[in-house]
Copies of this chain bind each other. A is one copy, B any other.
Amino acid sequence: MALKTLTSTPVLFLLLLGFSAASTPRPRPRPCKRMVLYFHDILYNGHNSHNATSAIVGSPAWGDRVTLAGQNHFGNVVVFDDPITVDNNLHSPAVGRAQGFYLYDKKEIFTAWVGFSFVFNSTQHKGSINFAGADPLMNKTREISVIGGTGDFFMTRGVATLMTDAFEGEVYFRLRVDINLYECW
């Protein structure tokens, strides 16, 4: 087991830089990398198998797998493979795929939990970024965690801000994702 360094670092700082108690909310550090991307989700509804990019795979007892369930879709689990674009146009060339799942988890309003990856394989980026967190999707912005990465994003961590950029009924939505990475290796 390698030396543990993180927890000892504060001591070092006290010695080298002097101690200053933070009594006010500290500003956020600057990200080591920023990216803004969009992804596009077209939910299978029984009639759009040609262009659907996601499908309901779990539902509560009161639901099925073709229509999102009552009670604000509570309990619906959706698996997706959505194109990622650099602008908000569904028909722009995809620079990668957003792959994973979301699930609706509140009866009273729409809110979700997500676990997914951005998988890149373009000239600009190779590798993946992994995300997890709560997505209270009725909020204009909401934050989830970047929990790791591979390839160009080896060992990264950060926070991603999700914004619903568009939606059309229960079939299409587009998310804007502002990725702010604070650990870059």
Contacts and interface: CB of A to CB of B under 8 A. Distances in A.
A138 interface: no
Interface residues of A, number: 81
Interface stretch (A87-95, A110-118, A170-178): A110-118
A111 B128 CA distance: 14
Nearest to A182: B155
A26 B3 CA distance: 10
A167 interface: no
B61 A56 contact: yes
A158 to B, nearest CB: 7
A170 B153 CA distance: 32
Given A61-B65, A184-B1, A147 B148 contact: yes
Interface of A: 1-10, 12-13, 16-17, 22, 26, 28-30, 32-33, 44, 46, 55-61, 64-66, 74-77, 79-81, 97, 99-101, 103-107, 111, 113, 115-117, 119, 127-128, 130, 132-134, 136, 143-152, 154-155, 157-159, 182-185
